[in-house]
Amino acid sequence: MNWDVWLVGLGGGAGAALRYLVDRAVSRAVGTGLPWGTFTVNVAGTLLLGLLVGAAGAAALPPRLWALLSVGLCGALTTYSTFSHEVLSLAREGRVPAAAGYAALTGGCALAALAAGAWAAGALL
């Protein structure tokens, strides 16, 4: 039996549920004018992935834990498909500057979070 598949599935289930809960909480807190819930999960998920990448690079993360947390949890927590749909929806609503700004902000912040997480893990380990 391939335990990695089960670990990815377990992490994925947790990540999907966490994404749903965070998205709802953020949307309630700040409103739905822009998709801030998706922004939050994407940036937080890539920060976590950066920490995991940094830990894995320091040989501090066993392969099965990598499968559970990076592929499973982070893979389901972050969402490129929902992000893309929301950008397209904003553009179709005639909010092209908001769509472009949201896309640029999400991409930039996610990359910065990934780098910051990797750096932090490397510095701590």
Where is the binding site for Na(+), in residues? 75, 78
Give yes or no for a contact between 113 and 47, defined as CB atoms under 8 angstroms apart.
Answer: yes
Cα separation, 62 vs 50, in Å, equals 16
As given in the structure block, the two tokens for residue 81 are: 């498909």
As given in the structure block, the two tokens for residue 120 are: 């932090």
Task: Please tell me what DSSP assigns to residue 77.
Answer: H
Tell whether the torsion through CA atoms of 18, 110, 56 and 63 is positive or negative: positive
Give yes or no for a contact between 17 and 31, defined as CB atoms under 8 angstroms apart.
Answer: no
Tell me the binding residues: 75, 78
